[in-house]
Amino acid sequence: MQCARELFVRCFGRQPQAAASAPGRVNLIGDHVDYCGGSVLPLAIDQRTAVCVGRGIPGQIRVVSTRRPGEMVVLSAMPIEHQPHTRWATYVSGAAAVLDDPLGFDAAVASDVPEGAGLSSSAALEVASLLAAEQLNRRSLTPLQLALAAQRIEHEYAGVPCGIMDQYAAVFARLRCAMLIDCRGPRHREVALSERADVVIVDSGVKHNLAAAAYARRRDECESARLKYEASRRQPTPHLARIDPADADEARWPAFGWTRDEGRRVRHVVGETARVEAWARAIEADDLAAAGRFMLASHASLRDDFEVSCPEVDELVEVVARHSGVLGARMTGGGFGGCVVALVRREWTEEVVRMLSARAPSRLVLVVAGGDGARIESLDPYHRDA
Ligand code: GLA
């Protein structure tokens, strides 16, 4: 927070008028089901993005970031410009657009959320920018409106047809709690994590650039499967994840006119949603072994049926899962690279972290306690950061 403020003062020569911050997230289980009305189980990470804003040149958005020293992106507030090379700044200027703010603002961003690791640095930036810009505009969105507005930035200004998980988690997270989100509402309930296990994430260090195109294609395949299902059953089916699980069985695929790919996508979506709910029940019953097995099954389904993993991540999941202190591991987030998340017996956490760090010293390894959700930050000079 302090870094964003100092950067603002240095670049714009005055104090900011408002500030906010929001966390990144790791998804424990339930990937590629949020846009099908399924359930997901993310946890905010402790790393956050802070944004300081102040009114600047009318009609303009100027953005600076501690991550891009010496660079200032200047965009017009309305209509928003699509400039691929300044996409990171579009997450900020998108806030002015969705808030219908023609005046625009100056913004300084500081973040320790790892970028390109599948930990939702973009959702953290969207939510923090919106919450800061909202104060300049004297607007007050409800938390759900805030999450939906952030998702709109991603859809309309960053061009990614994402589900609601990342923005929802960034808004609603609470310290040390995972959240079981039913994406139909969306609504959620908190799930307390076990005292006997830790959540460890390790970055594979790869990010394949086919990710965005493949994401949109998977969404299309799911939508096409849903429409065919609806037509053959002659009943409205708004949420593919909630169809009768028996209908996801391979023998039933021809009855709905699904191609083999569509059938496999559906089998993942329906099976994954059941696994998410079973994972929450297992954790609440302190059955860590079962929770670990669901994570491994989730990875296999994302790899084989949904086809969003990649060899580097598959190999990392295998290495991690082979350790006797690890209960289960899987890819997390959109896929095609990024992080692996593992559930580790607490007495083994230190050793697992040591093993992973030794294997690839430059890669990020984190033990996640569960961060807090989005909040307005004080600009009071006497306020000390928590
Ligand atoms: C990305 C999207 C989310 C979700 C995940 C996969 O993170 O932003 O909405 O679909 O991929 O679970």
Which pLDDT tens digit goes with each residue over 65-118?
A: 999 999 999 998 876 666 556 778 999 999 999 999 999 999 999 999 999 899
Task: Name the residue at shortest CA distance from atom 11 of ligand 1.
Answer: 334
Amino acid at 358: A
Q: Among the options 31, 34, 101, 166, which is catalytic?
A: 166
pTM exceeds 0.75: yes
> Does the beta carbon of 253 lie inside 6 Å of ligand 1?
no
CB atoms within 10 A of CB 368: 23
Q: Which of 275, 306, 281 is nearest to 293 (CA)?
A: 275
Q: Which amino acid is at 359?
A: R
- The CA-based angle 187-191-196, given to 5 degrees, is 165
How far is Cα 231 from Cα 225, in angstroms, rounded to an integer? 10
The helix (H) or strand (E) run that includes residue 121 is: helix 121-136
Which residue's alpha carbon is at the smallest distance from atom 8 of ligand 1? 162
Residue 40 phi/psi, 5° resolution?
-135, 165
* CA 165 / ligand 1 centre spacing (Å): 6
- Give yes or no: 166 in active site: yes
- Is-contact 366 201, C-beta < 8 A? yes
How many whole angstroms separate alpha carbon 118 and alpha carbon 3? 24
Instruction: Specify the residue with its C-alpha closest to ligand 1, atom 2.
Output: 162
Q: Which tokens in the block code for residue 174? A: 């609470």
Structure tokens belonging to residue 330: 């899987």
Q: Please work out whether the CB of residue 163 comes within 6 Å of at least one atom of ligand 1.
A: yes
Counting Cβ atoms within 10 Å, is residue 323 exposed (0-12), middle (13-18) or buried (19+)?
Answer: middle
User: pLDDT by residue (tens digit) across 32-68?
Assistant: 999 999 999 999 999 999 999 999 999 999 999 999 9
Query: 160 CA to middle of ligand 1, Å?
Result: 10
* DSSP string for 302-318: HHHTS----HHHHHHHH
Q: CB–CB of 210/242 below 8 Å?
A: no
102 CA distance to ligand 1 middle (Å): 30
Please tell me the predicted confidence (pLDDT) of residue 84: 58
Please say whether the beta carbons of 167 and 127 come within 8 A: yes
Q: What is the pLDDT along the chain (386 residues), one digit of tens a residue?
A: 899 999 999 999 999 999 999 999 999 999 999 999 999 999 999 999 999 999 999 999 999 999 999 999 999 887 666 655 677 899 999 999 999 999 999 999 999 999 989 999 999 999 999 999 999 998 899 999 999 999 999 999 888 899 999 999 999 999 999 999 999 999 999 999 999 999 999 999 998 877 888 999 999 999 999 999 999 999 999 999 999 999 999 999 999 999 999 999 999 999 999 999 999 999 999 999 999 999 999 999 999 999 999 999 999 999 999 999 999 999 999 999 999 999 999 999 999 999 999 988 889 999 999 999 999 999 987 665 54
Q: Ligand 1: distance of its center to the CA of 197 in Å?
A: 25
For the chain, the helix, strand and coil percentages under 3-state DSSP, each to the nearest 5: 45, 20, 35
- Between CA 118 and CA 207 the distance in angstroms is 9
Chain-centroid distance of CA 345 in Å reads 25
